[in-house]
Structure 1
Amino acid sequence: MIDTHIHSDTRGLEDLELMAMCLDAVITLAHDPFEMKSIKVWEAHVEKILFNELERAKKVGLNLFVCVGMHPRAIPPEVDEALDKIKNYVKYDNVVGIGEIGLEKATKEEKEVFIKQLMLVEELKLPAVVHTPRRNKEEITKIILDEISTLNLKNKDIVIEHCNKETTKWVLDEGFYVGLTVQPGKLTPLEAVEIVKENKDFANKILLNSDCSSNASDVLAVPRTVLKMKINGIKKEIINKVAHKNAVDLFRLNIE
């Protein structure tokens, strides 16, 4: 099992150890721990994830991969400089994508930065992890999909995160990956199970995650949801896809 979206720097070592006991790998992403008043603040955040978190993960045997980027709530003033730095960060072995990027309020600045990062995703031929907000999720998701459609990207390796029942259908219709986040305030394990059931023909486009962060979270969200899928009669092949295989294929994870 793989948890495709966490923020490991917000969790204690004991949580990472618990994940190591249950999961084959996890992916930690850039987020918004504080206001990005300068490029130096953003750089320190990304490098903490890229270097410090890998060291912490090694201590407890957690197989950790990284996505880097500018979260819509954490955009530094020097956007173009940050984009150049991302090009260097993705050269490190454990970096497997760009994220999380996306929109929170769909301001002009957010859209501009989102588009620039999508163009970088296209240039670097890497997967992208796209944030959708808790508030106005449907409205903002539509804007995100519209923004992507205007770019005519060849790269379809894009995960639209924190989907609900309604937005899942829109994302699948556009040919992108659906991220199902099992976390208080987002989806319960059973709600995720229902979405997988209803979209079982698109199981190769669905990923599971916990979005473990400083918010209320369940470090065992992915294994808990897998258990609920088994209890509810979802086929092993489908479970393997949404909980493991899709993540390995999309992010090209080198795991045994």
Structure 2
Amino acid sequence: MRYIEPHAHMVSRTTDDYEKLALAGCEALCEPAFWAGFDRSSAAGFYDYFRQLTEYEPKRAARFGIKHFCWLCINPKEADDTGFAREVMSLIPEFIQKESVLGIGEIGLNKNTKSELKIFEEHVQIALDYDLPILIHTPHLEDKLKGTKLILDCLASFSGLDRSKVIIDHVEEHTVSHVMDAGYWAGMTLYPESKCTPSRAIDILEVYGTERIWMNSACDWGVSDPLAVPKCALEMRRRRYSAEQIEKVVYQNPLAFLKQSSRFKL
């Protein structure tokens, strides 16, 4: 089986995990900018992090034949201080033309604050200025439905936004319809203890279909599994999904979204 891992935080994983992904059939991997497991004390930390995403991780992935791409932003967990956030965002133009950078993400909300929402709006404007796709994070610990609705209301205020170039990630049963009915792509994050388990994700597919939706592992600093996507594909097989249906969800769908960036080439 071949698949694309469209959302994985590999800076939190060992090199052995790249080998496991390759053995499972991963052809390409996309790494959104996110939290470092702790709050960074200066924008200089983000400068080195952006270098890590654009220079070092592609080399680690290439050792095992995996293409590594990334997204840039200051993540919602560290965006509540608008002054600090804007200092970090000022670094993005220096990196935005790197050949592995796909777009802006993962931006969004963490605690659903006004400051987070303001920085979210400014990130969206950067994406529009550079005509880039957007990857959006919805909150976990706070009210996900409220955060999702705030994000959707904010996006609706941008008249030039192409909704087909926006994916709203970490959807669950109570938010997926809001995202898809508004014309955006939806991402399901497969976690063993939170977000969507494979069984829950497949239940969502059975209700909402397989258009404009993908699966990802995130595999960040928390309890997570870099092989969550192929394991979910195995569960789909147990539920009598055909090979073509499985490939659509784990390969063709992320390919269709990601190739909207001219830099996504396999």
- Shorter-normalised TM range: over 0.9
Distance 2:31 2:22 in 1: 14
How is 1:179-198 mapped onto 2 (pairs within 5 angstroms)?
179-184=187-192, 185-198=194-207
Aligned-residue CA RMSD (Å): 1.6
Aligned to 1:250: 257
Aligned to 1:60: 64
- Corresponding letter in the other structure for 1:186: K
Aligned to 1:14: 16
Q: Does 1:130 align with 2:143?
A: no
Distance 1:64 1:14 in 2: 15
Query: More deviation in 189-198 or 55-64?
Result: 55-64
Q: Does 1:173 align with 2:184?
A: no
Query: More deviation in 113-122 or 228-237?
Result: 228-237
How is 1:136-147 mapped onto 2 (pairs within 5 angstroms)?
136-147=143-154
1:145 offset after TM fit, Å? 1.0
Q: Look up the SS of the partner of 1:100 in the other structure.
A: strand
Distance 1:107 1:100 in 2: 17
Aligned to 2:220: 213
Aligned to 2:208: 199
Task: Report the TM-score, using the length of structure 1 for normalisation.
Answer: 0.93
Q: Indicate if the aligned counterparts of 1:208 and 1:242 stay in contact, CA closer than 8 A.
A: yes
Aligned to 1:25: 28
Aligned to 1:100: 106
Distance 2:161 2:220 in 1: 32
- Corresponding letter in the other structure for 1:40: A
- Corresponding letter in the other structure for 2:70: V
Q: Does 1:40 align with 2:30?
A: no
Q: Indicate if the aligned counterparts of 1:248 and 1:254 stay in contact, CA closer than 8 A.
A: no
Q: Look up the SS of the partner of 1:98 in the other structure.
A: strand
Aligned to 1:87: 93
- Corresponding letter in the other structure for 1:41: G
Aligned to 2:73: 69
How many aligned positions are there?
A: 253
